[in-house]
Amino acid sequence: MAVGCWVSGFVDSLVQTSLAAQLPFCTNNVIRHFVCEMLAILKLACADISINVISMAGSNLLFLAVPLLVIAISYVFIVGTILRIPSTEGKQKAFSTCSAHLTVVILFYGTIFFMYAKPKSKVTAETGHQSVTEAFISLFYGVMTPMLNPLIYSLRNKDVKAAVQNMLGGKRLIKHK
């Protein structure tokens, strides 16, 4: 599965880059965005980009919407199974196990959909400038989400939790001295 993800991501990037490389660029070549995104590059082209847009829409559907749909459907079945657990303690433990993954999924897909699914403001669309909110979300997606991912999962480990509590407890004792 990991190799499939890497190969499909590489092939998709190769297709998108190849399509964009064939376009003529005859306007200002400055992209005023926090990161260099394909749509910002395509806006600089002085030719028809409809093939590129259709290709990107297909990629978004295949690599974003379909996995999110599969995750959502699987969580419907998971929640249904958890609710059939007779003990409250068992339900809490099962929901606790799912919470880390669900948190990461919400952070990842929430920022992606905010970046790509929300309508652009008129000023942003005309000038090509990225708003402060869009830059912040882009930064959050590119830096914070990958940084929080291992932290969220590692806090599920009892040894890591104990070490963090010891570290925080030690700091509190030092502050009170």
Which of residues 74 and 38 earns the better pLDDT score?
Answer: 74
**Mean pLDDT score of the chain:** 80
Q: What are the residue ranges spanned by the domains of the chain?
A: 85-177
Q: What is the mean pLDDT of residues 40-58?
A: 88
What lies within 8 Å, CB to CB, of 89 at 6+ separation is none
The alpha-helical segments, DSSP class H, found in the chain are 2-21, 38-42, 50-60, 66-83, 88-117, 122-127, 132-139, 145-154, 158-176
Per-residue pLDDT at 9 exceeds 60? yes
d(CA 109, CA 60): 12
Q: What is the mean pLDDT of residues 37-61?
A: 86
Q: What is the pLDDT of residues 66-88, one digit of tens each?
A: 988 999 999 999 999 999 999 99
Whole-model pTM above 0.75? no
Q: For residue 11, what pLDDT is reported?
A: 95
Report DSSP state, residue 156.
T
Which of residues 102 and 125 earns the better pLDDT score?
Answer: 102
Q: For residue 69, what pLDDT is reported?
A: 93
d(CA 34, CA 134): 9
Q: What is the pLDDT of residues 135-165, one digit of tens each?
A: 777 777 788 878 887 777 777 677 777 777 7
- Of the pLDDT bands very low, low, confident and very high (cuts 50, 70, 90), residue 117 is low
- Of the pLDDT bands very low, low, confident and very high (cuts 50, 70, 90), residue 123 is very low
